[in-house]
Structure formats: structure tokens, C-alpha cells
Amino acid sequence: MTELTGQIEQVTYFNAESGFTVARVAVSGRQEPVTVVGRLLDPRPGEVLAMTGEWATHRTFGEQFKVTDFTIHVPTTARSILKYLGSGLIRGLGPEMATRIVDQFGDRTLDIIEKDIEQLRRVRGIGRKRLDSIRRAWAEQHDIRQLTLFLQQHDIPTGQAMKIFKRYGHSAIAVLRRNPYRLASDIAGIGFKTADRMARQMAFPMESPMRVEAGLLFLLEELAGQGHVYFPRRDLEGRATEMLSVSPMLVREAIARLDRQRRIVMEPLSVGKGDMAPGQALYLPYLNQAECDVARMVGQLLDMPAAVSSKEENAALALARKHSPVALVPRQLEAVREALAAKVMVITGGPGTGKTTIIQAILHVFAALRATIHLAAPTGRAAKRMAEATGRNAFTIHRLLEYSIQKGGFQRNAEWPLKTDLVVVDEASMVDTLLMAHLLAGIPQTARLILVGDVHQLPSVGPGNVLGDIIASEAVPVVELTDIHRQARASRIVTSAHAVNAGQMPVIDPADADSDFYFVERATPEQARDTIAHLVADRIPNRFGMDPVDDIQVLAPMHRGAAGADELNRVLQAALNPKGIEMVRGSRVFRLNDKVMQIRNNYDKEVFNGDVGRITALREEARELEVTYDGLIVSYASTELDEIVTAYAVSVHKSQGSEFPAVVIPILTQHYMLLQRNLIYTAITRGRRLVVLVGTRRALAMAVARNDQHKRHTGLCQRLTVAARKRKGLDDGGNGSTRRRGRD
């Protein structure tokens, strides 16, 4: 390591979130300023940095000093103080006023501001109001700097300082010294493990009640990320005892305190439709509220009258027959009548079973009734597919409900619902408990809701199993389509998907040159990886005339391993986009024209988890790039690149709601932990014109046979069932639902 001391001349780039800085620093003995890069603390021209780091050569920008540690010294000369104060450090104090102050006090300026700020009244243009403003800004800046240094001592990202200061104000350091675990619950981006490390550095005991409480809340959040809405108390106690290395008694006491403080919700544990089991279910309050809200609002919709007159129904059905693109069979007409009679309805079925045909017929009927209709889906890609299939505008649920982070969330809610008569939601299996609660809140009780989806696909990424629970509760009418229509039977993709869903191996005929479903046998992950690269880059484009980037999508069961999404992305990037301007983020490389995916919702940028685009601009000096998503141009600073990944290969979960002309799926025994029937079924149903599996038949057989997918702990089915029984005045067993199977 090398030590270097110098004064900041210019801050070329600074990211307030991460603290990453590019600065020009004047160093004694060098004619030209040195370029310094690293995570600095809101650096200001005029400050003196005593740095430790190492020299490196950037291929574009030349010699740089990469800082690993540093100490800040306030400037001491009049010239450096002028730069410091004129840098925008203090709101309302620009270069001109800074010059007047330094002309008055010289190198004593900072000492005057710190110890006898009233003397600034001697400077022309500084009255009482401006003096008070300078005093507040100086105190705030001082506190933020002290907080940042405090966080740095405890290995907390310095970019979090402003968030923490806004949350706790001038007492931030005192708050954290009393209870560092508050960071885990109060500050986005800081989790329990970071707060726990800080607390251990501050000599907090492992048995601290604050630690155990924070650990329990962390576990519940982690479990919510795995899809659970609640978790059984006994199981949570076991996990917490092991993770925290404390006694079960301390965990039980912490649960009791959290319950008294209403930081968790405890309810009797349910095991089925209205059945109770010994034990308790532990909820995070917001998930408990959302689940209760979904059950309540579904009940409210069901309680409202829905029927139309026979005359209106017959007229609407006649018009639907006339304008339907295909002749409606009796079963489809029955489903349309069901939609007219029901306030809430589910249509579920696999590929080729006619969901789209029925939806189109229903839309024709309600259009004939002059109903106001809204179509929505969980993702932008699913909404686009819905619009193409129906010929009507379709929106993401967030856009339908007019989500605005600036205005505090969903603008359409119970106080200001949508003006609509019918809302149809496609890909409803992707809707989690929280989003469903918001959707129902934004729908007036006079409207109808139709949920459309394939219940056999993977459930939502977020907590809950909403579509599955609604169907299982038998509280609402369900039209379950099981027969494949004649045209779809010609597709091996469709018949293979249905075979997998039924627990049967798909028929694979290597001699069928006209098939749309293929299996390429490869024994090892490395062989599968190399074959997939050849298929995507050469074989499929040449044989089927497809674009290797826009038309072909690799769907991997997992991220790690030689045939995982991470390694496949590296290989495919090298094959499809090997050269050009690039930006490195950790082990990931982003290049101009790369295909990338947004992996978390960003409401500020209006891009959402699963959106796919192309890198259309990359500015290395500014350390930012631009991605174009269906015409929307989104900028990312280098510190925001953890929001995107290269997307030549993505996980099966991330592909939900999408269709691609061709999909290629690695399937090997190394993926054992994730080989489940619903996962391979979901992957196959993403392909529209071509599906290619690469791997071993043994792995495919394992996936087809395993239908013991991870059970999510949810209470929605039980809540809906109990409410349905009460609604019908039944003590047990019965309900007023209808569940029909049929064909298109």
C-alpha cells in the first residue's frame, strides 16, 4: 500500500448513495493533479486527504490512485478555505459570499464559523436571517460528517449517511449507540447482518434482547422473500435459536415482547380450509393486514349483486357470437354466462386450452353491455401480450392503479377507486398478496373481477399463493380448462407441457424434423453449456431464421454452476457481443448492445422486476449507461448497476409472464434442488415456436416426477373458506361456489 496526501482541486464525479468519487487532487512534488478514485465522504474542494491505496492504470483514463482508506483534514489556508466554502457545502453560501467571508477573516474563517459565528454579521450581505441559515446548515453538515465517520468506523456504507440522518436527525449517533439494530428495520439497504456486525463491534452481547428481536424480524422478512406470508411459531423459534446461537427461552421471550409491541401478529395456526392445528402462526403486521384485506375485499365483491337481465344477457351473447373470431362452443358460452353472473371469477388452464378465446368472448359481451373495461397484468411484458391478444389497451397493475413514488404509492385505492365495470387480470399466478390487496382496494365494489392464469405454473416471486388459494378455497366460481383445442394439439410444445403437468415424460422424437420441441442429450454441465452457446449463436438462427438475441432466450433452473444462468451469460455474451465499450461492476461486465434485465422494481425510473432491454449508450467517463426498454430510455449510474444483469440467460422465475419465439433450457442432475414439475412446466410454456432441452433424460424424469414443491405458509385459503361458509350460513363442508372443467 502507498500513502499519499493532497488537497482536492476538483470533484469530477460523486455518487451520494455509495460515496464513490472521482476527484483531482493536488499532491506536493507533482506538476499535475492526481486522479483519485474510491469511496470518499462527500468530498469538497479545498479539503486535504491523507490517503492509503495503490496506483493503477485505467485503459482509457490513464494513471489513477485507488483509495482504500483515508483521513480528512479541513483546509487551513485562505485559498483552500475559499474553495471549501464556495463548493456548495452550505446552502445559500455561494462563491461570491464565500469570497467576502474569507476576505474578512482569512485563514481564521472556519474557526470563526465553528466558535463565534455571530462575527459573520460583520460581512456585507449577512443579516440575521442568512446568519441563522448558515448556522443551521453548518451544524447539519458537521453532524452528517461526524455520522459518516462513525459509520465508516463500523464498516457501514457511507452512502447511507444521509438516509440515517434524515431518519434520526442530529441525535443519529446517540440513537445508533443505544440500539444499532434499529438500522435493520428503519433504513432500506441495511439488513440485520450488517447491523449485527456493527453491534458486535460496539460490544453488544449476543443475548441482548434487541438482538434477538431484530433477528426474529429479519427471519420473518427472509421467509417472506421465500414466499411465506406467515411462519409457524415452533419452526421460527428453531431457526432463530440456531441463527442467533441463543437459548430457546430468550427467543420465546422476544416473541412475547414483539407481540405485545404489535411488531408481529400471532394467530391460531391453520392447516386447511377452516381446519385448525395446535400452535401459532407468526405474521409481519403488513403481511397480515394485506392477507386480511384480500379476504375481506373478495367477500365484499361477492356480496354485491351481479346479475343482468335475461334480455340483456341474450342480446350480449348474440353479439359475442357474431363478433367472435372463432365459433363459440357451448362450454365457452357457459363460461361467458358465468362471467355475467359472478362478481369474482377465475379462468385457469394450460397452453392451448382456449383461455384467450374465452376472454375475447367475455370482452365482446361486456362491450355490448357498454361496460367500462380495464385489462391488466403484473408485468409490462405480460400486459403487452394481453394487448396483442385482445386488441385492447392493457396496463401493468401498477400503472392501472397510478402508482407514484412521489405521491406516496398507489393513487387508486378505496378512497378513489377506478371508474370501471370490469377488470380482467392476466397471468394472475404472478400476483402476490401485497399487490392483490392494492388491486382489490382500487376496484369499486360495483365492478367485476376476472382472474386469468395457469395455476400449475410457479407461484408469485413475492409472498403468497393468491391464485392457488382462491381456487382451493372454492369461494368463487372457477372455470378450469383442461382440453387442448384441435389446432394446439399439433404443437409438441403444448402436448409436452401438458404431459409434464400430468406427471408424464414428454414424447421426444429425434426423427421428427418438423417438431417444435427437441431434446439434446449432454452428460455434463460443461458439455451442456458449450452446446447451448452453439445452439443460440449458430444452430437455431441458421435453421429457424431467428435473431440470437431478440428471439432466443435461455432459461436456467438456477444461477450457479457451469450450466447456470451466470456462467451461461458469460459464455453467451462472449459469443454474441464480444467487443466494445464496457463497464465493470464487480465480476460482471456490461457492454454496449448487451441484452439486460431489471431485477428489482424501481418506481422512480418506471422499470420493474423482469423488464428486458438493450444497453444503447455507455459513457465510461461519467460512469453511467443507458438501457432502452420498449422505447423507454433509462439511465444507470455505476452504483446502480446491481439493479440489472445480462439477460442472454435468465432464471425460470424471471421469465414468468413472458413468451419468447424460442427457449433453450439446460436440465441436469446438478440442478437437483430446483428440479420440480412446476418449474420445468413453466419453462416449457414460455416457448412460442421452439423449445430445446439440453441435458440428461434422467434429470428431466426427476423434474417430471417431483411435485412436492416447497409449500408456502399462507392463510388466505382458510380465510376465504371461513367467510364463504358464513356467507352461506353453513357450519361445515358446503359453500356456494362453482367449479367447472371444460374445453374451449
pLDDT digits (tens, 9 = 90+) for 710-729: 689 999 999 999 988 887 76
Written as one string, the DSSP assignment of 678-696 is HHHHHHHTTEEEEEEEEE-
Range with the poorest average pLDDT among 4-18, 480-494, 644-658: 480-494
pLDDT at 733 over 60: no
Q: Given pLDDT bands bounded at 50, 70 and 90, which one contains residue 390?
A: very high
Q: Which amino acid is at 477?
A: P
> What's phi and psi for 693, nearest 5 deg?
-95, 140
Please report the sign of the dihedral spanned by the C-alpha atoms of residue 453, residue 457, residue 462, residue 468: positive
Q: Given pLDDT bands bounded at 50, 70 and 90, which one contains residue 565?
A: very high
What is the spatial distance between Cα 499 and Cα 493, in angstroms, rounded to a whole number?
A: 10
> What's phi and psi for 199, nearest 5 deg?
-65, -40
Query: How much is the average pLDDT of 691-697?
Result: 95
pLDDT at 744 over 60: no
Q: Which of 703, 685, 670, 666 is nearest to 572 (CA)?
A: 666
> What topology is assigned to 504-593+644-705 in CATH?
Rossmann fold (3.40.50)
What is the spatial distance between Cα 162 and Cα 143, in angstroms, rounded to a whole number?
A: 10
Q: Given pLDDT bands bounded at 50, 70 and 90, which one contains residue 743?
A: very low
What is the spatial distance between Cα 359 and Cα 344, in angstroms, rounded to a whole number?
A: 14
31 CB-near residues (< 8 Å, 6+ apart): none
Q: Which of 515, 433, 516, 513 is nearest to 467 (CA)?
A: 433
Q: Which grid coordinates are listed for 331?
A: 362450454
pLDDT at 3 over 80: yes
Tell me what pLDDT residue 616 has. 94
- State in Å, rounded, how far the first CA of the chain is from the last one: 72
Beta bridge partners of 662: 552, 690
Q: Which grid coordinates are listed for 633?
A: 430510455
**What digits encode the pLDDT tens for the residues 430-464?**
999 999 999 999 999 999 999 999 999 988 989 99
**Is residue 472 within 8 Å of 270, Cβ to Cβ?**
no
Q: Which amino acid is at 92?
A: G
Q: What is the pTM of this model?
A: 0.81
* Residue boundaries of the structural domains of the chain: 2-146, 160-271+278-284, 291-485, 504-593+644-705
Q: Given pLDDT bands bounded at 50, 70 and 90, which one contains residue 548?
A: very high
**Is residue 259 within 8 Å of 266, Cβ to Cβ?**
yes
Q: Are strands 517-521 and 478-481 parallel, antiparallel or unpaired?
A: unpaired
Q: Are strands 344-349 and 448-453 parallel, antiparallel or unpaired?
A: parallel
- With pLDDT > 90 as the criterion, what percentage of the chain qualifies? 51
Beta bridge partners of 344: 449
> What's phi and psi for 370, nearest 5 deg?
60, 35
Same fold flag, 2-146 and 160-271+278-284: no
Give the 3-state secondary structure of residue 477: coil
Tell me what pLDDT residue 72 has. 78
pLDDT at 17 over 80: no
Report the top-level CATH class of 2-146.
mainly beta
* pLDDT, the chain, mean: 87
Q: Which of 367, 377, 352 is nearest to 450 (CA)?
A: 377
Q: Are strands 422-425 and 373-377 parallel, antiparallel or unpaired?
A: parallel
| Residues constituting the chain | 744
Beta bridge partners of 349: 481
Instruction: Give the DSSP H or E segment for 667.
Output: strand 660-667
What is the spatial distance between Cα 140 and Cα 127, in angstroms, rounded to a whole number?
A: 20
What is the spatial distance between Cα 59 and Cα 75, in angstroms, rounded to a whole number?
A: 33
Place of cell 438462427: 541
> What's phi and psi for 435, nearest 5 deg?
-70, -35
**What digits encode the pLDDT tens for the residues 267-326?**
998 755 555 556 899 999 999 999 999 999 999 999 888 767 778 778 777 877 777 666
Q: Where are the beta strands (DSSP E) in 15-130?
A: 20-27, 34-39, 48-58, 62-73
What is the spatial distance between Cα 179 and Cα 165, in angstroms, rounded to a whole number?
A: 15
The CATH number given to 160-271+278-284 is 1.10.10.2220
What is the spatial distance between Cα 214 and Cα 208, in angstroms, rounded to a whole number?
A: 10
What is the spatial distance between Cα 513 and Cα 517, in angstroms, rounded to a whole number?
A: 10
Tell me what pLDDT residue 740 has. 52
What is the spatial distance between Cα 71 and Cα 473, in angstroms, rounded to a whole number?
A: 62
Is CATH 3.40.50.300 the classification given to domain 291-485?
A: yes
Q: Given pLDDT bands bounded at 50, 70 and 90, which one contains residue 29?
A: confident
The radius of gyration of the chain's CA atoms, rounded to the nearest angstrom, is 30
Tell me what pLDDT residue 276 has. 55
Q: Given pLDDT bands bounded at 50, 70 and 90, which one contains residue 148?
A: confident
Range with the poorest average pLDDT among 430-444, 501-515, 521-535, 724-738: 724-738
Residues 656, 659, 664, 669: what is their CA dihedral angle, to the nearest 10 degrees?
A: 30
Query: How much is the average pLDDT of 562-584?
Result: 91
**What digits encode the pLDDT tens for the residues 104-141?**
999 899 889 888 989 989 999 888 988 888 888 888 77
Q: What angle do CA 348, 349, 353 make, to 5 degrees?
A: 135
- With pLDDT > 70 as the criterion, what percentage of the chain qualifies? 92
- In the Cβ-directed half-sphere of 355, how many Cα atoms lie within 13 Å? 25
Please report the sign of the dihedral spanned by the C-alpha atoms of residue 377, residue 381, residue 383, residue 387: negative
pLDDT at 204 over 50: yes
Written as one string, the DSSP assignment of 561-608 is STTSHHHHHHHHHHHHS-SS-EEEETTEEEETT-EEEE-S-BTTTTB-
pLDDT at 639 over 90: no
277 CB-near residues (< 8 Å, 6+ apart): 269, 270, 271
Tell me what pLDDT residue 408 has. 85
What is the spatial distance between Cα 6 and Cα 19, in angstroms, rounded to a whole number?
A: 19
**What digits encode the pLDDT tens for the residues 661-686?**
999 999 999 887 788 999 999 999 99
